[in-house]
Structure 1
Amino acid sequence: MKPSKHFASDNFAPVHPAIFKAIAEANTGHVKAYGDDPYTDAALKKLQAQFGETADAYFVFGGTGANVLGLKTVTESHHAIICAESAHINVDECGAPEKFTGCKILALPSPDGKIRVEQIEPLLAAVGNMHHSQPKVISISQPTEYGTVYTPEEIETLAQFAHQHELLLHVDGARLCNAAAHLEMGLRDITGDVGVDVLSFGGAKNGMMFGEAVIFFKRTYGKAFPFIRKQGMQLFSKMRFIAAQFDAYLTNDLWLKNARHANDMAQLLAKQLAAIPGITITQPVEANAVFAILPKEAIPQIQQHYFFYVWNEATSETRLMTAFDTTQRDVRGFVNAIQTAMKH
C-alpha cells in the first residue's frame, strides 16, 4: 500500500483546516464581486499589517500569473529581465514571462540558485544600445529553487545595485514564508524594508487552496495593474474566496507555523539522510527542500512507494520537499524505504 504523503512537492499537500474553514464561512449570502467585498478589504488590511501601509496588493489565481503580471506591469517589451538559470520564470512557466511581457530573459548560472551583483554588472553594457534588450528588472526567488535563502543583506545589496542603475527588484515569493521562518524575521523585513519593489507572495505551497498576492511597494508601480490583471485573465469574480484564505493565513501566525514546521521536517529529513553512507546532501537545507544524490539504481524502487522528482538525471540529484502536514513518522517511513532500496 502506497503512503498517503510524498516528498515531490509541497503542492501535493492538502488545504489546511483553518483555510478550509475560512472558505466555508465566506460561502454565505451575496457580496459584491471582483474584490469589492468585506472579505477582500479585511485581507488587504492584513497584508498591509505584514508588509507596510504603503504596500499595494492585488489577488490573483496562481504563482505564474503573479510573476508574469507583476513583471509585465513594470516593463515594456524591449526590456530584459535578469534571473538565475534555475528561476521558476526561466524554467517552469512554459515561456509565459516572455510571451506576455515580451521581454527577453537573461538567465545567469548559479550553483546555489542565487545571483550576485558581479554577475549582473556586465549585462549593463547593453544599456542605451538600441540593438539590445534593455535590462529593467532583477528577479530573484526567495527561497531559491535550490531551497537556499537570501539574507536580508544580500537582498539589500541587489536592491541598491538595481536602484543605482534604474532597475527594479522583483521577488518570486512562492515560498517566502519558509524563508522568513528560516531567518526568524518578519515578511516586511525581507522584502519592502530591504528595497524589494515587486513581490509575488504565495500561499498555495503552505496550506492555502489557491491564490497569490502581487504586492508593489510603491503605489506608482502598480497603477496599471488592475487593467493588466483583467487583460491577463487573473481577475477572479468571486474574490472573497481568495481573500478569506489570506485573512486566515495571516491570522495568529498560521503562515509562520506552517512554514516553520515544514522547515523543521526538512532539517530532520536531511539529518537522517546525511547519516546514510552513499547519500550526499548537495545544498544547504534552509527552507523546506532537501537536495540529495541517491544511488541511481535505488531511485526507481523508492519511487514505487514515495514519489519525488529527480532534479539532475546525470548526477542522480533529487529534490525532496516537505510540507506543513509532513510528520516525523512520514520522514522515518521515507528514510526506511530509501535504506531498504539501497540494500538491494
Structure 2
Amino acid sequence: MSQHAARHPEASESHVSFPAPRAFASDNWSGAHPEVLEAIAAANTGHVAAYGGDPYTERFRELARRLFGEESEAFPVFNGTGANVLALQAALPRWGAVICARTAHINTDEAGAPEKTGGLKLFGIDTPDGKLTPELVAHEAWGYGSEHRSQPLAVSISQVTELGTVYTPSEIRALSEQAHELGMVLHVDGSRIANAAAHLGVSLAEAAAGADLLSLGGTKNGLLGAEAVIVLRDGAAAGIPFLRKIDLQLASKMRFISAQLVALYDGDLWLRSASRANELAQRLASGIRSLESEIEGVRIAQPVESNAVFVELPPEVAERARAAFTFGAWPTQPGLYRLMCSFDTAEADIEGLLAAISGSPATTAAE
C-alpha cells in the first residue's frame, strides 16, 4: 500500500457508492445503460484519430445513412441544446427566424441559447397539446420580404413534444410540405424520438418523416451525454462542420460519443429501452385513472403517448406523493405535474408512486 493510501484509507477505494433511489422527475436522472458503458469501455483501446477521424464515428455515419437515407450526414455532439442550436444556426441566415410551439424546449428550457448563441429569433405559438399544425404555423408565417420583420425560415417541432404527445408521420409531412412551399426548413428536436417511434410502431426515419434536420437524442434513453445532428436533406445545413467547432460541440475524443450512439442505434437497444419506458408510463397512467373516481382533483391532463404522464394533483396529494418520490411541478400551470419513466424504472417504482398518490400504507421503492 502506498504512503498516500496508508494516510487516507479511502483513497484505495476504486469508486464511491451513493444511495440510488429512483425518481420520476426526468429521464435525464437515470443512469447510463450497462450496454452503453460496455461500448465506452470497448472503445477505450489504443490510439485513434481525434475530432471524428476515428472508426467509431465513421461507423456511426454509415449507420445514420442506413437509418435515415443515403443523403444523411451525421454530426455527433455533446448535448441536446447544442444539437438544436447547431442545426438551426447552420440552416438559417442571420435574418432567419424559427416558428415553434411556445412550450418547445428551444423556447422554454435552453436559457436563450438559440437567441444568444445562434442569433435566432423564435416565434412561439400557443398549442393545446404541444403540437404545431399548418394552420397554427400560418399565424407566424408572414412578412416575407419585409425588412422590418425577422424572416420565418424554419419550423421546429419536438418529437416527443414537451407535453408528452407524439406527431404522426402524416402530421409531420403536412408541416414539411407547408414549410417547403414557403421556402422554410423543418427541424425535429428528437431528444425522445425513440419513444415516439416505439409508440407509433414505426422506424426512426418515419418518426421524423419529411424533416430536413434532426436532433437525434441519446442521453434521455441511456447514453452518457451523447447526441447528434442528422442532416436529412443535402444542402440543408451547409456550414455545420464549421459551426460545430464555433458552438463548442466538437469533441476531441469523439470516439466515446460515437461508440455510445452506435451502441444505442445499431440494433434494438433504442427500441427496447424506449418501449420499456413507454410501457411503464402507460401502467402508471392506468393506475392514476383508477384513482380519479376515488380522489377528487386527480386527473390525467394529456394523452399518454410516450414515457411522460401529465397529471393534475390536489396540493395535499402532491405533497404526500413528493415526500416519497421526486417529480416536478409543471411551471406554467398550477397543480399540473410531470411524471417521467425511464429505461430503468422498475415496476415496484410504479406501484410505490401509486400507493403514495392514493395514501396507501404500501411500502414505496424509494424507502
What TM-score do the two structures reach when normalised by structure 2?
0.90
175, 190, 207: which is aligned to 2:207?
A: 190
Deviates more, 1:279-288 or 1:304-313: 304-313
Residue 293 (structure 1) aligned with residue 312 (structure 2): yes
Q: 119-128 vs 65-74, which deviates more?
A: 119-128
Percent identity (aligned) = 46
Contact preservation (8 Å) 1:114, 1:140: yes
Counterpart among 137, 153, 161 of residue 170 in structure 2: 153
Q: Which residue of 1 aligns with 2:142?
A: 125
Taking structure 1 as the reference length, what is the TM-score of the superposition?
0.96
Contact 1:56 1:222 in 2 (8 A): no
CA shift, 1:221, in A, is: 2.1
What is the aligned partner in structure 2 of residue 63 from structure 1?
Answer: 80
Deviation at 1:3, TM superposition (A): 7.2
Question: For 1:74-111, what per-residue CA distance to the aligned partner results, in whole angstroms no more than 9, with x for missing partners?
Answer: 11221110000100000000000011222211000011
Specify the structure having the higher radius of gyration (Cα). Answer: 2
Q: CA deviation at 1:219?
A: 2.8
Distance 1:29 1:125 in 2: 55
1:218-274 deviation line (CA, Å, top 9, x unaligned): 232233111000011110000000011011111331000100010000000000011
Give unmatched runs, 5+ long, in structure 2. Answer: 1-18, 362-367
TM superposition shift of 1:303: 1.6
Partner residue of 2:161?
144
> Contact 2:328–2:338 (CA<8 Å) still a contact in 1?
yes
SS at match of 1:227: helix
2:142 touches 2:152 (CA, 8 Å); kept in 1?
no
Determine the C-alpha separation between the residues in 1 that align with 2:333 and 2:177.
38
SS in structure 2 at match of 1:148: coil
1:7/1:306 contact within 8 Å kept: yes
- Give the aligned partner of residue 357 of structure 2: 338
Which residue of structure 1 lines up, in the alignment, with residue 125 of structure 2? Answer: 108
- Structure 1 moving runs of 4+ over 2 Å: 122-125, 312-315
Shift of residue 294, structure 1, vs aligned partner: 0.9
Q: Is the 8 A contact 1:127 1:135 kept in 2?
A: yes
For 1:181, the equivalent position in structure 2 comes to 198
Q: Alignment length, in residue pairs?
A: 339
Work out which of the residue numbers 249, 257, 279 in structure 2 matches 1:234: 249
Structure 2 counterpart of 1:6, from 23, 27, 31: 23
- 1-structure distance, mates of 2:360, 2:109: 30
Q: Secondary structure at the match of 1:123?
A: coil
**SS of residue paired to 2:189:** strand
Unaligned segments of structure 1, at least 5 residues: none
2:10 aligned residue: none
Q: CA RMSD, aligned part only?
A: 1.5
Q: Secondary structure at the match of 2:153?
A: strand
1:328 aligns to 2:347 (yes or no): yes
- Bigger relative contact order (CA 8 A; separation at least 6): 1
